[in-house]
Each structure stands twice: as C-alpha cells, then as structure tokens.
A and B are shown apart, each in its own frame.
Chain A
Amino acid sequence: MTFFSRFNAVSHQPRQERWTFIALTALVCLLSLLPIGRLAVEAIAGSTSRSFIEVWSQPVALRALVNSLETALGATILAMLLGGTVAIIITLTDFRARGYFVFLFVMPLIIAPQVMALAWLQVSGPSSSLLKLLNLALPLGTRNPLYSREGIILLLSVEYAPLVFLTLRAGLRTIPRELIEAALAAGGSRFTVLRTVILPLVTPSLVAGMALVFVSCLGNFGIPAFLGIPGQYLTLPTLIYQRLSGFGPGVLPEVAMLSIGIGLLAGAGIILQEIMQKRRDYRVSATLVRTRPFALGQWRLPVELTLWLLTILLVLMPLAGLLATALAPAYGVPLTMTTVTLGNFSYVLFEHGASGRAIFNSLALSLTAALVIVAISIALGFFLVMRRSPLLRLISVAIELPYALPGVVLSVACILLFLKPLPLLGISLYGTVWILLLAYLARFLVLGLRPVVSGYLQLDHSLEEAGQAAGASFLTRLRTIIAPVLAPSATAGGILVFLTAFNELTVSALLWSSGSETIGVAVFSLEQGGESAAAAALACCATLLTIGLAAATLLFRRFLPQGALPWRD
C-alpha cells in the first residue's frame, strides 16, 4: 500500500508537467511548423509540376514582382521619413500631450489596411464631400488618383510609419542621457549632435524598423487589393489572390511557387531585421534615462501644430470621410443634416445576409483565437521562461514565422496542407470555418505570446515555488497562481490577437468560403460589388469597435509591462 502510494507520489505530479510539455510542443509544431514545412516540401518537390523558374519567368509574375518591389521600397522610404521624424521629435523634444499623439499616430496599426484604403478612397475621389466643401474636388467622371502605384505607396507608408516610429523610439530610449549631454557640452549644435551621436547610435534600430516595414509592405494585401486591382496594377499577393479566386485549387502548384518566391524575399528582410536588432549595442542600454534634451523653444507650438495637423490629415480625416459615406443615403449624395441616415448601418447589420454572417464569424473566430492563444501562451511562456526549455526555445523561432512571413504564404501553405481530407478522419478542413481558425491561431500566436513572455520575465519565480511547496500540482499552480498574476499581460496579448484577427483580410481572403465570410472579406466584396456606402458602414462598425477596445485597454495600462501594447506611450 505504502509502496503504491509512494510510487504515485513520485510519478504523478511531474507527469502532469511532462504531458503538458509534450502536448504543447506537439501543438506548436502542428500550428507553426507544419504549414511552413508543407510549403517547403512543395518547393523541393517543385520539379514534378511546373518548375519554379518556369512560373517566375511569366511576364505577369515578373510584372507583379516589380510592382511589389516598387511599392514596398517606395513606401519603406516614405515611412522611414515620416515615422523617423516623428520618433525623433516625440522622444527627444519637449513636445506636449505626447500620449494622445502617440495613440493617434499608431492608430493605423490597429485599423485594417482595407478600411484605411476604403476611407482614403472616400475623401480623395470626385464625389468627396470634403473636397467639394473646399472646392477642390476633381470633376465627376475623373479617375480617383489613388488607383495608382503612387496611391498604394502613400497608403502603405501611412499604414506602416508607426512601425518605424516604434522601433526607432525604442532605440532612442536606450541612449543614455550622458552621451548626448557630453556631445552638447563639447560644443556641438543640436543638429550636429543628432547627426554625429544620436543617429549613428540608433542606425541599427532604424534599419531594423525599415526591414520590418519592407516585409510588411511586401505582404500587404488590403491596400493593393483596393487600390491596385481596379487598375490592374497587381502586386504578388493580389496576383496570387486573383489566380486562386479565378481558377480554384487547380492552380495551386503554380501559386505555391509564387508564394515561395515572396516568402524567400520576405525571409531576406526578416534576416536583415534580426541582424540589425542584434547589432544594437546593449552596453549602452544600462541606464535607461528618459532623454528629452532638446527644448523646442519658440518652435514648440509650430512643430506641435504641424505634427497634429499632419496626423489628423493622414489618419482622422479619411476616417471622417468613411463615416460621411456611411451616413449618406447613397454614394455621391452630399451629406447634410437632412440627408443623414443610418440606413446603411441597418442594411449591413440586419438585412445583408453575408455581412451579418461576417460580423458573427469575425467575432467568433477572433474571440476563440484570442482565448485559445492566451491559454497556449501562458503554458508556453512557463516552459520558455521558467523552465528555459531548450527544445521549445528552438521551436519558438518557428512561432514567429507565420506572423513574420506574408499572410498569403501562410494561406497557401494552409490550403496545401488541408485541401486533402485529413488522414484517419477523412474530413477536409478546406472550405470550412476551421481552416480559418487554424490559420488565425498559427498567424497570431506570437502576438499573444510576446506580452505573456515579458510578464513572465518580471515574475518572481518564488511565487510559483511557494505554490509548489504548498503542495499544488502543476496545472493547479498554473491556474491559481500564475494565470491570475499574469492576467494583465495575458489580457493585453488577448486583445492584441482579437483586434488583429477581427480586422484580418489577407488570410481570410484566400481561405474563406461561402458561409465562413469574415468582416474583411465582406467589406472587400461589398466594395468590389459597387456597394461603397454599405462597405463604409460595415468598416465603420469594425473600426469603432477596434478603437474603442484599444482605448479601453489604456484603463489598466499601469498593470502592464512596458511595450505590451503598441498604442500606449
């Protein structure tokens, strides 16, 4: 009797931890490694179908490649100028109300690109109420100037300037005040100090931010879909989308070659970003003094006004235009106190079947994804940080990939993986809502994991050990001690996942099927079907929810590790 009870005591509890570890490792492999691995197999076996070179030597593929590179490079430079300037002014000068400004400036990160594109189309076209008011509207019948390469570059740069801003700001914050003060004391003027001391120190951060923007632009689907497809200006993601939606899974081998190409291109960007992040000199980050050495003096108000106006023009004005379109009775009818109507809202919310389904699907999918990812992240973070599992640390690199690589790459990988019925079960996930859920889990896991990991890094290990000494088993400790203590970080991660998944278009555009529409897909189809007012109304609903939720998180910001939420200063 004693023998058996002791035997149980020896093996039972660690077994719980061991099985959790095994299950978790299997799950992460399934989500993160399997799709990318399947695509890699396709690449190696590519010779059986049309070969890589053959696919890529078609004029249409080359044209798309050139277009992708043009727009991505152009937008990267523009985003660097915009985000870099703002980061330097916000971080190094006595700019006021910086918290509100940062929230507004990084808002494009949480607003879906397709919503941004739709909004910009509303304010720039011939029927723009705003331009009409200023007497600047183009004559009716003219083509909206945003349907062009330059339009795509402009919008991509507005969308991703916050990424440059955030990485550069993080870099600027690690410069010790003394280094700048020593240069000033040596007699350098502010611009000399900026040029000779500050910028050289933050160059790695800047290059890392630019590489990140480049990869993001390369993978962006929403903006070239709205602005490029009407003028047949195709980038690689929109080309892949057109092929798949026009010809179905039959073109899968060809599309796989295309997405391997774009994946390799993005991979080069990711590697550059990693190298640059590592090159940051951590020796200078010992003293984290908030440095604001440059008083703007008499330029303070002009600089503040310029930045606020620019950001309002780039971010708020398009959204106002979107709202105006949504509130107008029909597209092009001027919005006045007498014509204002909620008809478009009630149409998309209650009458249009696909939109209603889309709202339900997006809510259900993103909520499920957020909850599952939070649960996985808490367990995963435990083994990554507290147990420092070498195996999981290796695998955690793979967790980054589905998010870092362009969405079309993951989507095509998922189609390849799930098109055939699952072995043993005989069910095909392709064409169901479950393939979307799996793709969301794979793509957004890293978003939920990052805040949880930084929460774990701040956790006193003895809290968990005290639970162990009190006799609590592994899962009990996870549930009653670790999860409550990490709740703020985990919630931040969950909200980040929810918002990103809720506004998602790239993955769902390739994986949706009738009945499993998402909001992104519904807005896209409405706009393509000419129902701009309805599309605007649906986009407004999604955006209001997004911004509201992001603002609500600021209420519990003081419980969060620094940097857990990008929109928090």
Chain B
Amino acid sequence: MARLILDSATKSFGKAVVVDGVSLTVEDGEFLAVLGPSGCGKTTLLRLIAGFEALTGGSIQVGDRMVSSATSHIAPEDRRMGVVFQSYALWPHMNVAENVGYALTIQRIPAEERRKRVAAALETVDLSGFAMQKPALLSGGQRQRVALARCLAMEPALVLLDEPLANLDVHLRAAMQDEFAAFHKRAGKTMLYITHDQAEAMALADRIAVMDEGRLLQVATPSELYRQPANSRIARFIGEGMVFDAKATGAALAGRCQVSVLGATATLRCSSLPRLGEKLQVCIRASDVHTATNNDTNALTCRISRLTYLGGHFRAEAIPEAFPGEIIRLDLPEPCPVNTGDTIAITIRDGWILPS
C-alpha cells in the first residue's frame, strides 16, 4: 500500500515560499508526472517527499505512515523511497553490482539473496553483463539504467525520479522514455516523475500535476490537460495554446456552446454552462484553426505576418484585420498557399471555453 498523500505541503526558505500549499494524492501504482518550468518548486517538492528537506507546513503521508509534518520528520534513510537523481548519483568507487546492492547490504540481507536480487534488477534493465563494471566506463543511458536498477533492487514503496532524462541527448531520451514506461509496467510501483518537458510527461504519465510558482495549477490525465486546461496559464503552457477573450452567444448544449471570438462565431467545448452574453476566455490550438472554404459563413480575414517552415508544414502567424493586436497561429501545408503579407480567410473549428 503506497498511496502518497500530500496535504497543504508548504516549504519556505526564509521569506521565499518555494512550495505553497500543495495537496495531492498519488494512487497506489500510479505514474504521476510533476510538470513545470524551472524554478517552479517541483524539485523541492520531490526533496520534501524524499525527506531531504523538512516541511514548513502541512503534511506528507505514505500509506498510513505520516512521514513529514511541521512537527515531525522521518529521516530519508528510514523512508525506503527509491530516488533516481538527475546526475544519476552512482558511487564512482563501487562497481555496478555494488551500487545496485548497496541498500541490500545496509539492510543486512544475506549475500546469496542479495546476489539474486541484484542480478534480477540488472536483468530488468537489460544490463546483466555489466555487474563488474565501474560506472565511469558506462554510457549516459547505461548509467541511468543502473540508477533505475539500484532503485528497483531495494524494493521501495515509492519511486521518485528527478528529471532523469535531462542529461541525455535527444535520441537516447526517446529510447529511455520507452524504458521508463516498460519499467513502470513491470515493477508496478507508485512513481513520481519530475520533468520540465511536457512531451515526456504526456508520453509517460497516467496523470500530470502542473506546477508554477510553488502552486499546483491542475492535476489531470494528459488528454484532459491538453483538451480541457483549467485556466489560461495552463492553456498557454501546454501545447502552445492561444487564449482569446470571447462572449457566449448561444446556450450550452451537449457540452458545447456557441461563442463569438475575434468577431467570428464558433462552437466550442465547455464544462460549465455559460450564461448568454457572459464574458469568457477560450483556448484555441493551431490544429483547431483551418483555412476557410467557400461554404464557411464565419470566416475571419487575416493578414499573414510570419511563416516558419517546420519540415512538411508551415507554422503561420496571422493577424485578424478586425483585431490587429491579436495573433492567431495555424499550420499550413506544403507547398504553402500564401506568402507573408497575403490575406487569408480562416475558421475556428474547435476549442475549449476556460472555466471561469
């Protein structure tokens, strides 16, 4: 039973509040990614859970065990949490097997069983032949896998991963992402994965917790986060969403509502029921915007201000003639039908009305 429960976890260093009242429950066996820009407090959150830092307020509970509160603090060495560090943190004076078996030596597990568990852990990460190697001789990806095996061998209740792929190059990162997914499936551990890379979080996590300036903005499945962001900050952060002011022009029906945005009418998804004429904010993505056909009555006339080739398609920035202060981004196919400075008629096919 390794449910992780954070209740208004707060950490401040002097006057700076780095983690601000975070409440979060990670279910047993769940893979949760904590996503946020650098400096948002996500690494401090991990260090609080691991016990490297003491809480200023609130509490942290693992299963039915209170590990941190403002008044009590269980030392990290007594928490049995697996931690995978960004720098791998492999001990350079020990070989791979000694690194992986270290926690078992600490627990005074008999040599025979220790050997078996180390071998099993190394096999899980596909490094069976490397037991006697020193970490210095391994590649970045292999080191990361040793760090995973070390974490796996101690059979932790909870695995905490601190940007484990940040130090790897792009190709290796993709391969290791698959490793992590497979690792989670096999080990079935509760995992908390810290990252600033939303593609990584989307690819791996069951749920994503978005953090900014020490606060938790939204906790949702990747798809929910993308399709139904909770506020304009997340809408802009995730998938480069565009946020525009809008007004409800129709009644909500079957989760959709007609709005007027940038002078055009569009029918967008919604969760609440906006009143007629209510001022709203809507999130539109480039994939929701299309060039208008002749049948479209709601076309917006825009001038193309910039075209960027992205390989296979163009990203266009278009300025609506009626709203010269706004920019709409949309994708155009290759060969590109327009040039910079041309006008184009576009239409908004989908989008999300942000809950007020």
Contact = CB atoms under 8 A, between A and B. Distances in A.
Interface of A: 6, 9-10, 12-14, 460, 462-463, 465-474, 476, 480-481, 484-485, 487
B186 interface: no
B79 to A, nearest CB: 8
A484 B77 contact: no
B137 interface: no
A460 B87 contact: yes
B93 A468 contact: no
A14 B75 contact: yes
A471 B75 CA distance: 9
Contact of B77 (A463, A468, A487): A468
A472 B87 contact: no
B77 A13 contact: yes
A13 B89 contact: no
Interface of B: 50-52, 65, 72-83, 85-87, 89-93, 102-103, 106-107, 150, 154
Contacts of B85: 462, 465-466
Contact of B102 (A462, A472, A487): A472
B89 A462 contact: yes
Nearest to B78: A9
Contact of A471 (B87, B91, B92, B107): B107
Nearest to A480: B102
Minimum-distance CB pairs A-B, first 9: A470-B103, A462-B89, A466-B89, A469-B83, A462-B85, A468-B76, A484-B93, A9-B78, A13-B75
From DSSP, what is the main secondary structure of chain A's interface residues? helix
B157 to A, nearest CB: 12
B52 A465 contact: yes
Contacts of B92: 485
Contacts of A471: 77-78, 80, 103, 106-107, 154
B89 A460 contact: yes
A462 B87 contact: yes
A476 B102 CA distance: 11
A152 B82 CA distance: 64
Given A10-B74, A469-B82, A484-B91, 10 more contacts: A466-B90, A468-B51, A468-B52, A470-B102, A471-B77, A471-B78, A481-B91, A485-B91, A485-B92, A487-B93
Contacts of A13: 75, 77-78
A260 B103 CA distance: 54
Nearest to A463: B89
Secondary structure call for the B interface: loop
A182 B316 CA distance: 47
B75 A470 contact: no
Nearest to B98: A480
A465 B154 CA distance: 15
Nearest to A487: B93
A20 B150 CA distance: 29
A485 B135 CA distance: 13
Given A465-B85, A471-B154, A485 B93 contact: yes
Contacts of B90: 466
Contacts of B52: 465, 468
A12 B107 CA distance: 15
B76 A465 contact: yes
Contacts of A481: 91
A13 to B, nearest CB: 4
Contacts of A474: 77
Contacts of B81: 469
B150 A470 contact: yes
Contacts of B86: 462
B304 to A, nearest CB: 45
Contacts of A469: 50, 76-77, 79, 81-83
A473 B106 CA distance: 9
A465 B89 contact: yes
A108 to B, nearest CB: 36
Contacts of B82: 469
A481 B76 CA distance: 16
B72 A472 contact: no
A465 B87 CA distance: 12
Contacts of B77: 13, 467-474
A460 B73 CA distance: 24
A68 B272 CA distance: 90
Task: Count chain A CB atoms within 10 A of each CB in B78, B81, B82, B102 and give the residue with the most.
Answer: B78
B80 to A, nearest CB: 6
Contact of B72 (A10, A467, A470, A476): A10
A2 to B, nearest CB: 10
